[in-house]
Amino acid sequence: MEPLIQNRDVPQPTLRALVVDDREDVAMSLALLLKHMGYTVQVAFQAKEALMKGTELQPDVVFLDIGLPDLSGYEVCKEIRATDWGLNSFIVAVTGRNGSEDLLRAANCGFDRHVVKPMDGATLKEILQTVKTRVLLSARA
């Protein structure tokens, strides 16, 4: 069996993340972690701000709190999916709710993943690996 050969000359894209949470401490903690991991990150604390920053950033992944003050995360997800940039973004519902009806509603609104707060490191790593794989595959297409 031949060893796996990695082409180190292939440029790795800088991945972009949008973190949306009305709790500044939660949003900034995740944003700092993502920046440390090499992501370009924007943070929004309200729905309208998230939509505006998403248009500017064109994020590969969106971490979206469900309980926003101006519009629910479910509605924000629908609005994101209606944009050109939101069609291919990986959108994660980040919430304290974990009932079967919450999971179903999140899926019906266009979320790719549903995560209960606080999100653990293994879950974040899995999500980011999925996003990286999707971005790399779409770049090859």
In this predicted structure, the answer to whether residue 11 has a pLDDT above a threshold of 90 is: no
pLDDT the model gives residue 109:
95
In this predicted structure, the answer to whether residue 13 has a pLDDT above a threshold of 70 is: no
| Domain residue spans of the chain | 16-140
Class level of CATH domain 16-140? alpha beta
Share of the chain above pLDDT 70, in %: 90
In this predicted structure, the answer to whether residue 9 has a pLDDT above a threshold of 60 is: no
Lowest-confidence region among 10-19, 62-71, 79-88, 132-141: 10-19
Write out pLDDT tens, residues 50-97: 999 999 999 999 999 999 999 999 999 999 999 999 999 999 999 988
Contacts of 13 (CB under 8 A, 6+ apart): 135, 136, 139
Contacts of 20 (CB under 8 A, 6+ apart): 27, 43, 44, 45, 47, 50, 62, 63, 64, 65, 68, 73, 76
Q: Are 65 and 41 in contact (CB under 8 A)?
A: no
Residue with tokens 């790593």: 125
Q: Which run of H or E residues covers position 130?
A: helix 121-140
